[in-house]
Chain A
């Protein structure tokens, strides 16, 4: 029984290595780059791409969805924007009122 448990835990740990890791530091760097593009360079397309990269690395970060939603909104992609605002609210209900004016 003990041997089975050890084998199982080893197997789980090996399988766990294959899943995508959250890398908040790198995600933060991409998020900051996206913010600079959004605010300083008027480059919503580039900003959305950077926020996407950040989200891939840190999928539980609600404000990143808000920022990407704002970028999509600037680009006129209302559907993608709305999906992002909804996702942000599902991750942090405290943001609901903060993004409501952006929702149709």
Chain B
């Protein structure tokens, strides 16, 4: 049940809900895209020798991609749950400071199923950037790099 759908809900409450939804969506999108691309960059940049070694010992590009994409999905899902938990804390703090105890049940639908699904979808869509980046970098990494002396 939406708080704004409660009969007699005041217009400012509806506005606050809308703003909060938009902010959470934008935040989720920005965090997930940044995390996905940044983590893909970290994996392929700081683990060049590791990836090159795997290629050297017989991993195909596809094998390495599977590992990296798996890691990206794992990390992105965890980042989603962290953001989800953060939202719960924001709700809790907001409710504690601005809402009375008896109105809290009305406020709890702030985290609704719809926006949650949208957020998950956003997180997954955001991974595409990271996956594409990882794909390109893994393809370019030559196994011969593993033979170079590390400083």
Q: Does A pair with B?
A: no
B: which residues have CB within 8 A of A?
A: none
